A and B are shown apart, each in its own frame.
Chain A
Amino acid sequence: DQQVKQNSPSLSVQEGRISILNCDYTNSMFDYFLWYKKYPAEGPTFLISISSIKDKNEDGRFTVFLNKSAKHLSLHIVPSQPGDSAVYFCAAGKDTDKLIFGTGTRLQVFP
């Protein structure tokens, strides 16, 4: 039973355009959500997070949106840059409990 799902294994976006990565979860008890970026041969790097009391959090080019009723969150990258090409994992947790990760979406930003 996969509690955190990323249904798109890959996404290809042109440089300068918006990248939208989606994530769905099933456990309504999750109260914080995170996005990680992972380059090949490196560990995941924390990108941005959001708690369940908010519906939007913005940090530079990265914005995370949370729709609790739909149990859905998304990561928007605007404008997309070639250096954003990586695998993006969403993760969810409750309090300080362990994080549950999605399977990742590979983003490729082409010139």
Chain B
Amino acid sequence: SAVISQKPSRDICQRGTSLTIQCQVDSQVTMMFWYRQQPGQSLTLIATANQGSEATYESGFVIDKFPISRPNLTFSTLTVSNMSPEDSSIYLCSVEDLGNEQYFGPGTRLTVT
């Protein structure tokens, strides 16, 4: 199993600003993912972040808006840039272990005013 922590757990931000969310895993993992869960909606994959390569973004998400870093096998960051109220959501970091089981962090609840 993998234990994942995220910082911050929640934040309230003003429109036009940016927030960087950190994800720390207690073991080395190859595949890390960033998800978003908007109010009343399902989990939506934003991007896959693999160490040593650029993140792969899903349709509807772009690097300029959601830049991702993956400096090593235990850490990743997601930045939500130039925020608008539509970005209010829970952002979740997730990892996949060698057994293809997926684990999620506790999430970061973002409110944009």
Q: Nearest chain A CB to B60's CB is how many angstroms away?
A: 13
Q: What residues of A have a CB within 8 angstroms of the CB of B94 in the complex? A: 43
Contact present for B104 and A34 (CB under 8 Å): no
Contact B43–A101 (Cβ < 8 Å) = yes
Which residues of chain B have C-beta atoms less than 8 A from A45's C-beta? 104
Highest count of chain A CB atoms <10 Å: which of B43, B44, B94, B101: B43
| A98 to B49 CA separation, bound complex (whole angstroms) | 12
List, in ascending order, chain A residues with CB within 8 A of B54's CB: none
Interface-centre pick from B41, B102, B105 (highest chain A CB count, 10 A): B102
Q: Which A residues are in CB contact (< 8 Å) with B42?
A: 4, 89, 101-104
Task: Give the residues in chain B near A46, CB-CB below 8 Å.
Answer: 101-103
Query: Smallest CB–CB gap between A30 and chain B, Å?
Result: 14
Contact of A98 among B41, B48, B101, B106 (CB under 8 A): B48
Question: Number of A-B pairs whose CB atoms are under 8 Å?
Answer: 42
Judging by beta carbons under 8 Å apart, are B101 and A103 in contact? no
Inter-chain contacts of B101 with A (CB < 8 A) = 46, 49
Q: Are B43's CB and A44's CB within 8 A? A: yes
Residues 48-75 of B, flagged 1 when their CB comes within 8 A of A and 0 if not, give 1000000000100000000000000000
- Which residues of chain A in 5-32 are interfacial with respect to chain B, using CB atoms and an 8 Å cutoff? none
A43 and B106 within 8 A (CB) = yes
Q: Is the CB of B107 within 8 A of A41?
A: yes
New contact pairs (17) apart from A46-B103, A96-B96, A98-B45, CB-CB < 8 Å: A4-B42, A42-B106, A42-B107, A43-B94, A43-B105, A43-B106, A43-B107, A44-B43, A44-B92, A44-B104, A45-B104, A46-B102, A99-B102, A101-B44, A102-B42, A103-B41, A103-B42
**CB pairs A–B below 8 angstroms (10 shown):** A4-B42, A41-B109, A42-B107, A43-B94, A46-B102, A89-B42, A91-B43, A96-B96, A101-B42, A103-B40
Interface residues of B (CB under 8 A from A): 4, 33, 40-45, 48, 58, 92, 94, 96, 100-107, 109
